[in-house]
């Protein structure tokens, strides 16, 4: 066994003792250290933390298809042809064998779905891109070997799942769905029982009260990290611990389990990034930062609905108030927000609970239905249901059906520019990058609401559409390409750079990003209205997007965005020159001392 860091072992022991009885700890530690050796403890290179060049792409492994070619190979071809200079990380949504929910009912965590390709395709893709894997560890498919073993009373799988009495009161349990919390199953000996199924009867919740389940999860996570998953998304992770009489979400044990995973990955495969996915109100979501010892990144769930609301109402008031509050939140080293506007799921409404009223959420739901989308509901535990998610393509949600192609592109690119401006790391969904709209046929034919935004694209057709420069796909793809290139060139957009949000009235959203190290400072102004607006700022500089010189004021066209790079004033330029001079003097002194020592 490799030599082990004592501090690491003591931290693990402390965390495990907050989750399990003391008699389990020694055996757990021994088995965890064995797993670390199995996955080459100490033999993985350390990579740096994220910076302004990191831009994630969110995609299914088969969102783009090409004849009989394995879809992961097609993704590799498309990414290397079109994305090398704009995307750093590719998040592949669940790529394992599954039985339902478009991948989120995993049958086997350790295999690649043969319809997508194999681990060799993942290896080829990782040659030029960092990869992000999904870890759907709250639940597993009823078709899995784990579940089959449990129902056959295999001793190995005893207590892998959560049996519950359907006669008890579960009204306090937080529900993300309107489906039954408990589902009936029959064991091979004929015994009937009810198991916990938070998301559907095909997705059976795993019992983390069993220490063996924790060990299984550690083995899976280490395999992912060792196989190219530099980032790992923890799906629906807030639900992993259940306790009678509680809300069964965000339990202290759930937080401590994530801290165990973080501690192990930091030690065994350093540089691995944990991203928690918890579609809940903002203050609950950011609790997964812990004290800088839990998630590296948390999904910024209020951003999609609040941006959409601002665009629909042409009023930035709520968006501005929320964005200002981010400045007051504690941030720890090597932590930041995972920003996105669209994903494979719909637009979550729970994160707006402290920012929008019920009537404002109702308005968003009505707009979604007017634009041929759908609304998914959750069970409130008291017999009522409320909107949980808007199922609609983000471009279709932002725009009007009668808008021209040019207007659709302008509105949508304004929203994407806002995403790229926010502090944190931006993640762009494949259908946003490619300017897709509602896939009504996919939704109607499948009967699945979320299929409205999960269309499979033919590579040949897609490439032909990208050649049509005046088409919607090309306008959005190449417009985003330009924005991303600007972002990656300027330190002010780094996750470590500062952010200041200020109020310029309801039609404009305004923020300033600044990097104290390089003194790079950019004012990002968005006209979120269909009228021109006069912008006045005590700033001199140049708009990175349009190339126009800014001398304190300009008239913004409807839906126009400007990124004004500040011109350094004379004292600032002098200060920078002085710092450069001091660095040069220090380097010269070190060089001179080195020569003298050599001569001796």
Interatomic CA distance for residues 87 and 96, integer angstroms: 23
Give start and end residues of each alpha helix (H) in 156-294: 211-226, 252-268, 282-285
Cα-Cα end-to-end distance for the chain:
45
**Which is catalytic among the residues 235, 379, 515, 520?**
235
| SS3 assignment, position 142 | coil
Interatomic CA distance for residues 393 and 371, integer angstroms: 10
515 is catalytic: no
Residue 175: name the closest of 251, 257, 107, 238 by CA. Answer: 238
Paired sense of beta strands 549-550 and 541-543, if any: antiparallel
Please give the full DSSP string across 251-285, using - where no structure is assigned. -HHHHHHHHHHHHHHHHHSTT-EEEE---S-HHHH
Interatomic CA distance for residues 100 and 116, integer angstroms: 16
Exposed/middle/buried for 188, CB within 10 Å: 0-12, 13-18, 19+?
A: exposed
Please give the full DSSP string across 106-141, using - where no structure is assigned. BS-TTS--TTT--HHHHHHHTTTSEEEEEE--SEEE
Residues 169/182, Cβ–Cβ less than 8 Å: no
Residues 233/190, Cβ–Cβ less than 8 Å: no
Alpha carbon of residue 196 to chain centroid = 26
Q: Which residue has the tokens 């009204």?
A: 171
Interatomic CA distance for residues 579 and 577, integer angstroms: 5
Which element (helix H / strand E) includes 196?
A: strand 192-196
Q: Where are the beta strands (DSSP E) in 479-556?
A: 498-503, 508-515, 520-527, 533-536, 541-543, 549-550, 553-556
Interatomic CA distance for residues 136 and 144, integer angstroms: 13
Residues 255/290, Cβ–Cβ less than 8 Å: yes
Residues 92/132, Cβ–Cβ less than 8 Å: yes
Residue 378: name the closest of 388, 369, 368 by CA. Answer: 388
Q: Which residues are catalytic?
A: 235
């Amino acid at each position: 066994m490799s030599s082990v860091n004592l501090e690491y072992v003591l931290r693990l022991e402390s965390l495990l003792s907050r989750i399990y009885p003391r008699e389990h700890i020694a055996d757990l530690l021994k088995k965890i250290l064995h797993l670390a050796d199995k996955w080459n403890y100490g033999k993985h290179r350390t990579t740096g933390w994220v910076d302004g060049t990191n831009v994630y792409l969110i995609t299914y492994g088969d969102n783009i298809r090409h004849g009989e070619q394995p879809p992961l190979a097609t993704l590799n071809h498309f990414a290397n042809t079109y994305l090398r200079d704009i995307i750093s990380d590719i998040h592949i949504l669940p790529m394992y064998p599954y039985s339902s929910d478009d991948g989120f009912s995993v049958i086997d965590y350790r295999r690649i779905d043969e319809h997508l390709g194999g681990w060799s395709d993942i290896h080829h893709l990782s040659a030029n891109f960092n990869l992000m894997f999904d870890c759907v560890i709250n639940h597993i498919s009823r078709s899995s070997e784990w579940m089959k073993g449990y129902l056959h009373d295999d001793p190995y799988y005893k207590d892998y799942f959560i049996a519950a009495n359907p006669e008890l009161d579960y009204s306090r349990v937080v529900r993300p769905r309107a489906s039954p919390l408990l589902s009936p199953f029959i064991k091979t000996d004929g015994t009937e029982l009810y198991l916990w199924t938070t998301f559907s009867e095909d997705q059976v919740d795993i019992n983390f009260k069993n220490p063996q389940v924790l060990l299984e999860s550690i083995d899976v996570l280490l395999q992912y990290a060792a196989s190219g998953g530099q980032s790992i998304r923890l799906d629906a992770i807030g639900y992993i611990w259940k306790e009678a009489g509680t809300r069964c979400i965000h339990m202290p044990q759930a937080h401590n389990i994530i801290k165990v995973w973080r501690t192990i990955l930091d030690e065994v495969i350093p540089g691995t990034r944990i991203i928690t996915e918890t579609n809940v109100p903002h203050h609950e979501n950011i609790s997964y930062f812990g004290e800088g010892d839990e998630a590296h990144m948390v999904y910024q769930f209020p951003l999609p609905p609040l941006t959409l609301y601002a665009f629909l109402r042409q009023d930035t008031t709520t968006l501005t108030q929320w964005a200002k509050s981010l400045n007051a939140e504690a941030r720890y080293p090597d932590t930041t927000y995972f920003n996105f506007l669209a994903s494979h799921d719909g637009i979550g409404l729970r994160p707006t609970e402290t920012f929008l009223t019920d009537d404002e959420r109702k308005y968003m739901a009505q707009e979604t239905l007017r634009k041929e989308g759908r609304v998914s509901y959750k069970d409130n535990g008291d017999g009522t249901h409320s909107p949980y998610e808007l199922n609609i393509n983000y471009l279709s949600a932002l725009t009007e059906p009668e808008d021209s192609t040019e207007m659709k592109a302008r509105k949508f690119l304004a929203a994407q520019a806002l995403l790229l401006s926010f502090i944190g790391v931006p993640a762009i969904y494949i259908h946003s990058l490619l300017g897709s709209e509602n896939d009504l046929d996919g939704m109607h034919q499948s009967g699945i609401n979320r299929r409205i935004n999960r269309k499979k694209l033919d590579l040949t057709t897609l490439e032909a559409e990208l050649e049509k420069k005046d088409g919607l796909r090309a306008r959005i793809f190449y417009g985003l390409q330009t924005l991303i290139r600007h972002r990656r060139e300027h330190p002010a957009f780094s996750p470590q750079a500062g952010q200041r949000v200020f109020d310029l009235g309801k039609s404009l959203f305004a923020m300033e990003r600044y990097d104290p190290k390089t003194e790079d400072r950019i004012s990002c102004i968005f006209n979120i209205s269909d009228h021109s607006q006069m912008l006045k700022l005590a700033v001199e500089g140049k708009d990175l997007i349009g190339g126009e010189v800014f001398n304190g004021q300009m008239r913004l066209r409807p839906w126009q965005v400007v990124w004004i790079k500040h011109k350094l004033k004379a004292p600032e330029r002098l200060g920078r020159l002085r710092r450069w001079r001091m660095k040069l003097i220090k380097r010269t002194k070190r060089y001179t001392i080195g020569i003298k020592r050599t001569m001796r």
